[in-house]
């Protein structure tokens, strides 16, 4: 991996540390979703937060002070994505899950090169940062190229190499061994400000034999690495796996994966007993409401999961199955679906929705160094501009109304600036380090190559 080349790109543009941001509103992302009026966030030279809170209790500050209008909040966390699929966006958009995979995605992905994945991840990372997503949890191949792309934009990612078994394809053990070596040689977290973490990405219970899950569980536990897996996504998968193993969570328990640091993506079809298994093991869930709705997979039982104490974050899934990489949009959709599926408008508040996108996302990934504006965490910060109709009634409204305007109305188009580990990576809505138009042109070239050739013409 050419991590050093990418790291030098990042370190050459570090420019904004030892910085105090002073804003009319600071959302701390603590468990009460506190709204601080006239607050500051102090960023140390090490890229971590030294203080976040109201001005009267702030320490003396000798560094630069930058005043911003609007709202500061923690960087958003996308707990489940395949962002490199930007080159496949729009394909098979009206197909159900299995047909979509078999007819639209897998044939195109078979043609995909590591450079295509790099171009796709670069554009995906730009898109996410512009929408306030500072960390994404990815599952895909070409992990080295993913790391280079993320370090180029200045984002943060957990990169899980996808592991599966297909007839005539690579043995799953080879992918596991690559992940082992990557972590053992480069470290679990690496790059400037630990922007890159590596993990294991067993695709699903239906793409791997059970003993493979056991092997992966052992390696991941030894390395304290994240295991990122699709779980109980579609009704068809649920019926088949229940008949074979009791349920996917039961299989995960039997193979030892529940004892690892596991994030279960989708987790739509869970019984009460399955939820209890997740709660008892601290398994995280990546809730992908828009993808699940678009592919007609179902609605996750958010109320039941949260009541049981399962850490639930939000994911976009890939940009070919959503088709946005927009976590504020997911927060809104998650709240809407939870309310309508329980006939209860109190199921998820605007404050809850914001925490799903930040603090709880970090919890679902087993990370306590991101997801909130708290002393010692990385200074991953989003600035929301309020010169927009969504905030026309001003900021001097009560907390519930303010958070409501952010979640229900504002949307990611109001993101103005983004810092990762105290480095500004988005300024006035645009990527600081990368040329978006050039990245789009690269994806356009990849997309043209990834058109599946038509079958041989019959007489």
**CB of 10: closest distance to Zn ion in angstroms?**
28
How far apart, in whole angstroms, are the C-alpha atoms of residue 92 and residue 102?
A: 10
Q: Kindly state the number of chain residues that form the binding site for Zn ion, as judged by CB under 5 A.
A: 1
Structural tokens at position 132: 């306030």
Interface with Zn ion, residue 330, by CB under 5 A: no
CB of 25 within 8 A of CB of 39? yes
Shortest separation between residue 281's beta carbon and Zn ion, angstroms:
21
| Minimum distance, C-beta of residue 202 to Zn ion, in the bound complex (Å) | 12
Name which of residues 169 to 198 contact Zn ion (CB under 5 A).
none
Question: Residue of minimal CB distance from Zn ion?
Answer: 317
Binding pattern to Zn ion, positions 264-303, x when CB under 5 A? ----------------------------------------
CB closer to Zn ion, 319 vs 385:
319
Shorter beta-carbon distance to Zn ion: residue 263 or 415: 263
Residue 109 binding Zn ion, by CB under 5 A: no
| Nearer of residues 145 and 317 to Zn ion, judged by Cβ | 317
Smallest gap from Cβ 266 to Zn ion, in A, equals 7
Least CB distance to Zn ion at residue 288 (A) = 7
* Beta strand 35-43 pairing with 49-54: antiparallel
Give the shortest CB-230-to-Zn ion separation in angstroms.
5
> Judged by CB, which is closer to Zn ion: 317, or 329?
317
Q: Is 317 in the site for Zn ion (CB under 5 A)?
A: yes
Question: Judged by CB, which is closer to Zn ion: 45, or 106?
Answer: 106
- Binding residues among 11-50 for Zn ion as defined by CB under 5 A: none
From the list 126-134, 315-323, 333-341, 375-383, the region that binds Zn ion by CB under 5 A is: 315-323
Residue with smaller CB distance to Zn ion, 160 or 353: 160
- Piece of 46-54, 130-138, 191-199, 311-319 that binds Zn ion (CB under 5 A): 311-319
The span of 22-30, 194-202, 313-321, 409-417 binding Zn ion (CB under 5 A) equals 313-321
- Please, what is the minimum distance in Å from the beta carbon of residue 80 to Zn ion? 6
* Closest CB 47 distance from Zn ion, rounded Å: 30
Shortest Å distance, C-beta 328 to Zn ion: 20
Interaction site with Zn ion (CB under 5 A)? 317
């Amino acid at each position: 991996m050419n991590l050093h080349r990418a790291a030098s790109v990042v370190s050459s543009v570090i420019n904004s540390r030892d910085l105090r941001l002073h804003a009319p509103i600071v959302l701390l992302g603590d468990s009460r979703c506190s709204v601080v009026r006239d607050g500051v966030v102090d960023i140390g030279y090490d890229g971590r937060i030294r203080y976040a809170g109201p001005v009267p209790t702030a320490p003396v500050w000798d560094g630069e002070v930058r005043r911003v209008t609007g709202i500061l909040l923690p960087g958003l966390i996308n707990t489940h994505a395949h962002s490199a699929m930007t080159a496949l966006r729009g394909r098979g958009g009206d197909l159900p899950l299995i047909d979509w995979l078999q007819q639209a995605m897998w044939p195109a992905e078979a043609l995909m090169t590591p450079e295509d994945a790099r171009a796709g991840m670069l554009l995906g990372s730009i898109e996410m940062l512009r929408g306030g997503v500072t960390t994404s949890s990815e599952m895909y191949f070409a992990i080295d190229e993913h790391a280079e792309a993320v370090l180029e934009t200045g984002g943060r990612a957990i990169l899980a190499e996808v592991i599966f078994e297909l007839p005539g394809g690579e043995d799953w053990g080879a992918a596991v061994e690559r992940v082992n070596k990557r972590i053992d040689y480069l470290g679990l977290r690496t790059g400037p400000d630990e922007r890159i973490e590596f993990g294991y990405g067993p695709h699903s219970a239906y793409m791997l034999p059970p003993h493979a899950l056991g092997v992966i569980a052992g390696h991941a536990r030894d390395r304290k690495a994240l295991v990122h897996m699709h779980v109980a996504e579609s009704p068809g998968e649920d019926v088949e796996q229940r008949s074979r193993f009791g349920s996917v969570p039961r299989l995960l328990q039997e193979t030892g994966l529940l004892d690892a640091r596991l994030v279960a993506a989708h987790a739509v079809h869970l019984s009460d007993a399955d939820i209890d298994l997740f709660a008892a093991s601290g398994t995280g869930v990546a809730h992908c409401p828009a993808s699940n709705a678009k592919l007609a997979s179902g609605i996750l039982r958010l109320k039941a999961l949260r009541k049981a104490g399962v850490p639930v974050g939000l994911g976009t899934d890939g940009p070919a199955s959503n088709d946005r990489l927009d976590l504020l949009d997911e927060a809104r959709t998650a709240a809407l679906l939870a309310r309508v599926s329980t006939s209860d408008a109190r199921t998820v508040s605007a404050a809850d929705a914001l925490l799903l996108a930040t603090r709880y996302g970090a919890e679902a990934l087993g990370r306590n160094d991101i997801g909130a504006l708290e002393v010692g965490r990385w200074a991953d910060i989003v600035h929301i501009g309020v010169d927009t109709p969504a905030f026309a009634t001003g900021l001097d409204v009560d907390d519930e109304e303010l958070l409501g305007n952010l979640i229900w109305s504002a949307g990611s188009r109001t993101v103005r600036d983004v810092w990762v580990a105290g480095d500004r990576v988005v300024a006035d809505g645009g990527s600081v380090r990368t040329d978006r138009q050039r990245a789009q042109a690269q994806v356009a070239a990849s997309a043209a190559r990834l058109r599946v050739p038509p079958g041989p013409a019959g007489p």
